[in-house]
Structure formats: C-alpha cells, structure tokens
Structure 1
Amino acid sequence: MLELKNITKRFAGKLILDGVNLTVNDGQILTIVGPSGAGKTTLLRCISGLEETDSGDFFLDGQPFNPVTNRNNDTVIGVVFQDFQLFPNLTVLQNVTLAPTMVLKQSKAEAEATAQRLLKQLNLDGKADLYPYELSGGQKQRVAIVRALAMRPKLLCYDEPTSALDPDLRKEVEEIILKLKAEGMTQIVVTHDIPFAESIADQMLRVEAKS
C-alpha cells in the first residue's frame, strides 16, 4: 500500500501540488485525471522519485519511504513514460535486459529468459531482435511496459499511456493494464482520457490547475 500525506510541490514559486493526500491499495489501479498544467505528471514524477517534493510524506506498507533517495527504487516503482524512452540503438531485447543486468545484477541468461517470457505475455513474440524504429506505436508502448516489468516493481506508473495511440490500440493498453491488475500489480495511471480512466480505475483522483 502506498500513502501520500500532504504532498506539496512548487516550480519557480508557483504552487503545483497543494497538500495532496491519497492511498493506493495493493493490487488496485488509481487514475489521475485533469487538464494540462494541473500537475498530473508532476505528481507522478514525485511518486516515482523523478522530482523531489517541497513537503509531505510517503509511506510504503506503513513505513516511511522517500522515492528520491530509496536505493532500491528501481525495484519498487516502475515508470512507463509518455514517449516510451526506448534506446534507439538497442534491440527490444537489449532495451529490456539492460537495467536488470546492470541494476539487479542478473546474469544475461536470467535477464533474457525473463524478457522473453514478458515479451510473449504482452504479445511481442518475434520482436526481440527488432529496433524501436521498426515497431509501431502500440508495440513501443508494450515494450516500455515489458521493460518496466522486468525490474519486478511493486508499483507501476504510466504517464499518458494512450496519448499517441488510435482507439484500437487504446483498447489494447486497457486490456494489458487490467490483465496486470488481475495478476496483482498495483498501478497508477496519469491520463487526460476520462473514458479510459473510468474503464480501468478502482479510484480516480481529479486534479485542477491552480490559478
């Protein structure tokens, strides 16, 4: 269970997050919705440790937790970025196995076996040796999810996972997220797509732009 208490964040003196409180229970999906500039992505970046908060506290399973300084954060919180952030010079398999071998110190064989299993699970059979430019947008999205899952996170965060996808691929991402929920994965999804958010959410947080 992840808890946020009174999380506050400013940029250049402007208040972006004002005392945010929320709880995400294990195995559930929280969607964060709201207009552009309201702080959705900032909140996600704070949760994942990519931004430091100005004040407030995080708790993981009841224990104080700092996403920025936690040494094992790669295996606690995974992030699927809006632009995928795949390395263009690496194959799909290399993209997926890079962090497990470097951070988790897995052997190449172990990392590749996990990668192949996850690629098959997300219908990416036969794509391991392709480069990102050879993939469709939906395939890149799934590779980004596989890469995050390969780090065995407790919680998986997504930043606008359907923004660049057509309706059919949006449905595909929805099915993947719900499948991961059925397997027990806790997930936080930032999206501007309200119908998508409503179709996957156990709870929804609406954020509003500060005047």
Structure 2
Amino acid sequence: MLELKQITKKFDGKVILDGVDLTVADGQILTIVGPSGAGKTTLLRCISGLTPVDGGKFFLDGQAFDPATNRDNDAVIGVVFQDFQLFPNLTVLQNVTLAPTMMLKKDIKSVNQEAQTLLERLNLGGKADLYPYELSGGQKQRVAIVRALAMHPKLLCYDEPTSALDPDLRHEVEQIILNLKQQGMTQIVVTHDMPFAETIADQMLRVEPKQA
C-alpha cells in the first residue's frame, strides 16, 4: 500500500501541490484527472521520485519511504512516460533488458528469457530485434510497459498513456492495464481521458489548479 501524507510542491514560489493526502491499496488502480496545469503530472513525478517534494511524507507498506532518494526506486516504482522514452539506438529487447542487467545486476540470459516472455504477453512477439523507429505508437507504448515490468516494480505509473493513440489502441492499453490489475499490479494513471479513467479506476483523484 502506498500512502501520501501532506505532500506539497512549489515551483518558483507557486504552490502546485498543497497538502495532498492519498492512499492506494495493493492491486488497485488510481486515476488522476483534471485540467492542464492542475498538477497531475507533477504529482506523478513526485510519487515516482523524479521530482523531490518540498514537504510531506510517503509510506510504502507502512514504512517511511522517499522516492527521490531511494537507490532502488526503479525496482519499486516503474514509470511509463507519455513520450515512451525508448532509446532509439537500441532494439526492443535491448531497451527492455538494459535496466535489469545494469541496475539489478541480473544474469543476461535469465533477463532475456523473461523479456521475451513479457513481450509475448503484450503481443510483441517477433518484435524483439526491431528498433523504435520501426514500431507503431501502440507498439512503442507496449514496449515501454514491458520495460517497466522487467524491473518487477511494486507500483506502476503512467503519464497520459492514451494521449497519442487512436480509439482502437486506447482500448488495447485499457485492457493491458486491467489485465495487470488481475495479476496484482498496483497502478497510478494520469490522464485527460475521462471515459478511459472511469473504465479502469478503482478510485479517482480530481486535481484542480491552485488559485493565485
């Protein structure tokens, strides 16, 4: 279970997050919705440790936890970025296996086997040797999810996972997220897409811009 207590964040003196309290139960899906500039992505970045907070505390399974300083954070909280952030000079398989071998020091043979299994599970069989430029937007999205899953995170975060996808691919991502829930994955999804958010959410957090 992830808990946020009184999380605050400012940029250039402007309050973006003001005392956010939040609990995400294991295996549940939280969607974070709201207009542009309300702080959705900032909150996600704080949870994932990409942006340090100015105040408040995080607790993971009841233990105090600082995402911004935890050295093993990639193995605790995975992130699927809006622009995928795949390495263009690496193949799909290399993109997936880089972090487990470099950061978790796992054996390359076992990492490759697991990566192939994950690729098959997300309908990417036969794509391991392709480069990102050879993939569709939906395929890049799935590779980004596989790359995050390869680190065995306790929690998986998504930043606008359907923003660049057509309706069919949007439904595909929806099914992937719901299937991961069935497998016990805790997930947090930032999205502008209200129908998508309502379909997948166990709970929904609406954020609004702070008034000047």
Give the TM-score category using the shorter length: over 0.9
Matched residue, 1:151: 151
Partners of 1:191 and 1:134 lie apart in 2 by 26
Matched residue, 1:181: 181
Partners of 2:163 and 2:131 lie apart in 1 by 22
Q: Shift of the alpha carbon at 1:182?
A: 0.1
Partners of 2:71 and 2:8 lie apart in 1 by 23
Q: Shift of the alpha carbon at 1:197?
A: 0.2
Deviations 1:154-177 (A, max 9, x none): 000000000000000000000000
Partners of 1:71 and 1:92 lie apart in 2 by 25
Matched residue, 2:45: 45
Deviations 1:18-50 (A, max 9, x none): 100000000000000000000000000000000
SS at match of 1:45: helix
Partners of 1:94 and 1:167 lie apart in 2 by 29
SS at match of 1:205: strand
Deviations 1:41-64 (A, max 9, x none): 000000000000000000000010
Q: Shift of the alpha carbon at 1:77?
A: 0.2
SS at match of 1:79: strand
Partners of 2:150 and 2:53 lie apart in 1 by 27
Matched residue, 2:107: 107
Partners of 2:176 and 2:189 lie apart in 1 by 13
Q: Shift of the alpha carbon at 1:107?
A: 1.3
Choose 7-16 or 65-74, whichever is displaced more. Answer: 65-74
Partners of 2:108 and 2:75 lie apart in 1 by 18
Deviations 1:69-118 (A, max 9, x none): 11211110000000000000000000000000000101110110110000
Q: Shift of the alpha carbon at 1:142?
A: 0.1
Q: Shift of the alpha carbon at 1:201?
A: 0.2
Q: Shift of the alpha carbon at 1:145?
A: 0.0
Amino acid aligned to 1:143: V
Q: Which runs of 5+ in 2 are unaligned?
A: none
Partners of 1:71 and 1:139 lie apart in 2 by 30
Runs of 4+ in 1 over 4 A off after TM superposition: none
Partners of 2:207 and 2:109 lie apart in 1 by 44
SS at match of 1:189: strand
Amino acid aligned to 2:155: L
Number of residues paired by the alignment? Answer: 211
Partners of 1:89 and 1:72 lie apart in 2 by 25
Matched residue, 2:83: 83
Partners of 1:27 and 1:168 lie apart in 2 by 25
Partners of 2:19 and 2:125 lie apart in 1 by 45
Matched residue, 2:118: 118
Partners of 2:13 and 2:71 lie apart in 1 by 29
TM-score (norm 2): 0.99
Partners of 2:107 and 2:66 lie apart in 1 by 29
Amino acid aligned to 1:102: M
SS at match of 2:106: coil
Partners of 2:13 and 2:136 lie apart in 1 by 40
Amino acid aligned to 2:40: K
Matched residue, 2:202: 202
The percent of aligned pairs where both chains have the same amino acid is: 81
Q: Shift of the alpha carbon at 1:7?
A: 0.3
TM-score (norm 1): 0.99
